[in-house]
A = this chain, B = another copy of it.
Amino acid sequence: MEKHVTIKDIAKELNTSVSTVSKALNEKYFDINPETRQRVLKAAREMGYRPNPIARKLQQGRSYNIGVIVPEFLDTFFPEVIFNIQKRLIKEGYQVVVMSSDESFETELENLKTLEDNMVDGLIISLTRETKNIDYINKIIDRGMPVVLFNRVNPSIRSPKVIFDDFKWSHFATEHLILQGYRNIYHFSLPYHLAMSQKRIQGFKSALKKYRIPFTEEHIIETGISIEEGQEAMKRLLDRDIVPGAVFAAGDKVAIGAIKELKRRGYKIPDQIGVMGFTESALAEIIEPNLTSVNQPTDKIADKIVELLLDSINDNGKAKIGEFLIGGTLNVRESSRVMASDPKRT
């Protein structure tokens, strides 16, 4: 069990002092003889020296670690975003530490504390489904921790927030169905209490209004986020002898559940009924017919998050509180293709 070599070892080896070694190792000091620096660097290399980040953290409160907290990573969205965040931050010399809250507010709070105690230089957070109390996050921010929220945000948190432009793209998605000739469109919403659900509902309504298509609140149905929940919702609707002209589901999985049930009962998609998803996943191109969906560009989302976080770290507190909207792409596939036209929207 070979000991870890420290600056003290190097100092001893070179018959010099620890502070000299420390300065030689840190680029920013210029009051040091270039030759000495070279000797130190050489010795450090030969002795296999690696700085101890723990000691450094303790001393200067800076860790070059960034904490990321997400509600889950069983779906592909968060992993993709994390992956992209990591890719960019590594270039800036940061390491990324990921923790999952498993949709539990308690775990989220623990993660928050752990990362704060471990002195990460910044925090990237997507809230739990059940997070309503945001006092602790705001407290952390007030203590000076750079924080960026994304995707699942809470407007009362005093940090920059990166979110997808749900309203706009929900509007576009609905408009697409309308332009394809579909009427009597139903919206399968994600759980109502999520801010994004409300935005998507508003986008849905806005498009209907624009084309003066009559609708009642019954056209909006609250579902969950799983395939099963989507299928259940579709089943309940059909059991009441309601046959929609089209279904715009606020999530791909819900859309797929709906398709399954429609196919099971022999309905033809897209000819009889159109189906549209949201937050495109790999599943869209596997289900038959391929699912039309709105793609959220995880790379752009990650870009913006990293940009805002680094700003916040460097500008030291002058964080731009507010929402930064990211746009997407409407990927038209078979499940909504009635007519030939309607250009791809970007």
Contacts and interface: CB of A to CB of B under 8 A. Distances in A.
Interface in A72-88: 72-74, 76, 79-80, 82-83, 86-87
A83 B73 contact: yes
Contact of A98 (B76, B98, B117, B144): B98
A256 interface: yes
Nearest to A119: B54
Contact of A286 (B97, B113, B256): B256
A46 B55 CA distance: 29
B74 A144 contact: no
A91 B299 CA distance: 34
B95 A114 contact: yes
A9 interface: no
B118 A54 contact: yes
A269 to B, nearest CB: 13
A72 to B, nearest CB: 8
A256 B282 CA distance: 12
Contacts of A96: 99
Interface string A89-122: 0100001111110100001000101100111000
Nearest to A78: B79
A2 interface: yes
Interface string A133-146: 00000000011100
A57 B100 CA distance: 23
A96 B68 CA distance: 12
A283 interface: yes
In this complex, which of A55, A74, A111, A117 has the most chain B Cβ atoms within 10 angstroms of its Cβ? A117
B74 A117 contact: no
A308 B136 CA distance: 36
A17 interface: no
Given A73-B83, A80-B74, A1 B144 contact: yes
Contacts of A55: 58
Interface string A280-306: 001100111000000000000000000
A142 B1 contact: yes
A73 B82 CA distance: 9
A52 interface: yes
Given A1-B144, A79-B79, A95-B99, A118 B58 contact: no
A100 B256 CA distance: 30
A219 interface: no
In this complex, which of A57, A74, A90, A97 has the most chain B Cβ atoms within 10 angstroms of its Cβ? A97
Contacts of A283: 282-283, 286
Contacts of A142: 1
A50 interface: yes
Closest 9 CB pairs of A and B: A98-B98, A73-B79, A1-B144, A54-B57, A54-B58, A286-B286, A53-B117, A97-B97, A95-B114
Given A74-B79, A90-B107, 6 more contacts: A54-B118, A73-B82, A82-B100, A86-B100, A97-B97, A283-B283
